[in-house]
Chains A and B, each alone.
Chain A
Amino acid sequence: MTAIAISGLTKTFGRTTALDGLDLTVEEGEVHGFLGPNGSGKTTTIRVLLGLLRADAGKVELLGGDPWADAVALHRRLAYVPGDVILWPGVTGGEVIDVLGRLRGGLDRKRRDELLERFDLDPSKKARAYSKGNRQKVALIAALASDAELLLLDEPTSGLDPLMESEFQRCVQQLKRDGRTVLLSSHILAEVEALCDRVSIIRLGRTVESGTLTELRHLTRTSISVETAAPVTGIDGLPGVHDAVLNEHHARFDVDSQGLEPVMKRLAALGVRSITSTPPTLEEMFLRHYGDES
């Protein structure tokens, strides 16, 4: 089953094109990373999924329904954490959690109290007294205390300290075990690497990459650092090798996945003494996608 199926989604505001033919598929039960630089259209996509914005063109299906027409029915089955949590200054955090839970159709009180404990949040403070991180916790607890089958999380850990961040990761891993679906928009690539089954990277309102982390790594380069018996030659001429630094018996270079085989053959001929190969981090993939073109 597919939880989210978006194809060719377009949304413009006046003369600005926020989404320009975006595609996104999230399968049920997966944690899907949603990556892109600021202003690339992540939040707009989530707002379309919530039925707050109407799609100009394209097909959008959420939990088998139309997010614009069936908004209310669908919202009972999902929970949402906005990227910028703005609360009512005079209302306490505990009250906000309860209100959002009830408006969604009930929340698990035991889990709510347990989450308050885990995230170390004082529910009797009024929202104006909360820091950014604490406001974020209010929205997170409200979402995590629900039994929603789909969670839409828009940069949910911005403002959280590392302790809370790892608490959050444990929560998401629990969700995954429970078979729930999560769309996680994030800037923290280590978090996405740790949590996500699949990743979609968008840029200027369009999907540029989508797949499992392994698949994405195939599209990119591996860093290799090697020490050889014979002096290193003939590496920098091979197809797919980049940024090679050759120094007598030592070489450092990046190589495309397709170029690995000839490189390994050549290295074997030279006699490998030691070798480390580092798969590309998401961060490198990200930088490559956006860094190259700027």
Chain B
Amino acid sequence: MIGTLLRFSLRRERIGLPLWIGGAALLFLVQSTQSQNLYGDPEQLAKLRATLGGNTAVVAMSGPLELLDTIGGEIVFEIFAFIAIVIALMNMFLVGRHTRGDEEAGRAELIRSARVGRREPVYSALALAALADLVVAAVIFAVAAGTGLPVTGSLLVATALFGIGLLFAALTAVAAQVFEHVRGVYGAVGLVIGAAYMLRAAGDAGTTALSWASPIGWGQRTFPYVQDRWWPVLLMLGAAVLATVVALVALDRRDFGAGLVRSRPGSPVASRLLGTPVGLAWRLQRGAVFGWTLGVGMLGAAYGSLGDSIEQYIVDNPEVAEFLPGGASDIVDSYLALTLTMGALLAAAFGVASVLRARSEETAGRAEPILATGVHRDAYLGSHLNVALAGSALVLLAAGFFEGLSYGLTVGDPGQALRMLGVALVYLPAVWAVVSVAVLAIGWWARAAAIAGWAALGYCAVVELFADSFNLPDWSQQLSPFVHLPAAPLETVTAAPLATVGAVVLALVLTGFAGFRRRDLGY
């Protein structure tokens, strides 16, 4: 039976899965060739080690400095955490969709009514994830060894990523027993992925013990190509087995369709707020707004708490400051700008997910009863857009405020909170620009709306986070709205670029609405 289920799952994933695997492999391929070009000879690598030695920002973004001893390690240093996140997300979506997702949608009931045991869908989902992880590991090993890196280290990188994938698959299986909705599952696992990245950031930049609380940290601390330490992989496998057992025990103790967290009865009448389209959109999305604001706010606080150690390093090593344009004050500002960009990308991710709700409600058939009432199409799309714009602004401001607050507290200047709140606003036009691409697509290429929205975000993320390390040519970055905005607080803020990006946002949104007004709905 599991074989049949697994084959069926593979068929359902035949389009998405190759993209995830290809994406992860591509990240490694580009990083490997690029790094070997730049730091191929030991002298350049030593120079890099010297510059990065005290750059807490880069360490927090990437990994532990011990990796910088060899060129292979340098590649792992730069890209491992990001590939780990991609693989963790892939496992989260795979397992979530095939367990709680199917159960929530009622598809699992059909399957379970056949000769399929209670545990079999979980086994099948985990087998699917393990298979995907195995393929990712094989492809990454091939890419690593193929680009001339040592075989043992390449095998270790691949194995560590395999272990991380397996662990997050098992953790998702646990969350799938706890929450009644697949949305809740993604929220919880997404939070764990974010925490894993942040813990290792804090650990690598400060207290090493924190890295050991993170699966991504375990992976990096196998030190591939440097020490080739295998035993942290056992931690991952052990944790994965443990999580699987927890998931199965929880599964055996719950009813089909129920979670461990029970949903309570609600209000028999609608509150006053619910009487408008915006009120309904807010009601549907408020959980996500709070979750994202909290999560990204915490991320900002974590980034902010590291700001001081960067400053301290410059104070301790004044000779390094001489090499930096603008001296000591600039390195903190460039760190703040870089981390705020991360926050802005996450705010844009929320905005895209949020505005795409207008489309998913439509395809699910839930927009139809609304649009059969006295609600204009503009008001319907506008309701979700309003939540997307306000929500993404809130997420962005939370990133800025909490980063400023925690940085301010460490340097004894609480005023930083308000300053960073203002600085964060500079990124708002770019965040909204990403959202407006999704709006345009909802109006004109409805079926491709989700792809267009996420592709726009992915493009901006690649340009912002990897443009330098991938050596992307200048022209290829020009479509990203972030490129055209000042990197506050490092660069001076002028009104013109903000207004230009704002005008583009307005134009895209209006065009999107025009398309939405004239197309068939529900298809």
Contact = CB atoms under 8 A, between A and B. Distances in A.
Interface of A: 13, 47, 50-54, 71-73, 75-76, 78, 80, 82, 84-92, 94-100, 102-105, 123-126, 128-129, 139, 142, 152
A126 B375 contact: no
B265 A126 contact: yes
Given A82-B365, A88-B366, 18 more contacts: A47-B368, A50-B368, A50-B372, A54-B519, A75-B373, A82-B369, A84-B365, A89-B104, A90-B263, A94-B269, A95-B266, A98-B270, A100-B370, A102-B275, A104-B373, A124-B267, A125-B266, A126-B266
For the complex, would chain A's binding face be called helix, strand, loop or mixed by DSSP majority? mixed
Nearest to B272: A102
Interface in B331-345: none
Interface stretch (B16-24, B29-37, B159-167, B276-284): B276-284
B373 A13 contact: no
Contacts of A98: 269-270, 274-275
A102 B278 CA distance: 13
19 contacts: A54-B518, A71-B376, A75-B372, A75-B373, A80-B372, A88-B366, A90-B181, A91-B283, A94-B267, A95-B266, A95-B267, A95-B271, A98-B275, A99-B274, A99-B275, A99-B280, A103-B374, A128-B104, A152-B372
B474 interface: no
Interface residues of B, number: 37
A24 B363 CA distance: 28
B266 A50 contact: no
For the complex, would chain B's binding face be called helix, strand, loop or mixed by DSSP majority? loop
Most buried by A among B181, B274, B276, B370: B274
Contacts of A84: 365
Given A95-B269, A126-B265, A52 B368 contact: yes
A95 B274 contact: yes
Contacts of B271: 95
Interface in B154-207: 180-181
A103 B375 contact: yes
Nearest to B521: A52
Contacts of B523: 13
B275 to A, nearest CB: 4
A53 B520 contact: yes
A285 to B, nearest CB: 31
Contacts of B181: 89-90
Contacts of B269: 94-95, 98, 123
Interface in B271-319: 271, 274-277, 280, 283-284
B522 interface: yes
A79 B219 CA distance: 59
Interface string B363-386: 011101111111111000000000
B242 to A, nearest CB: 31
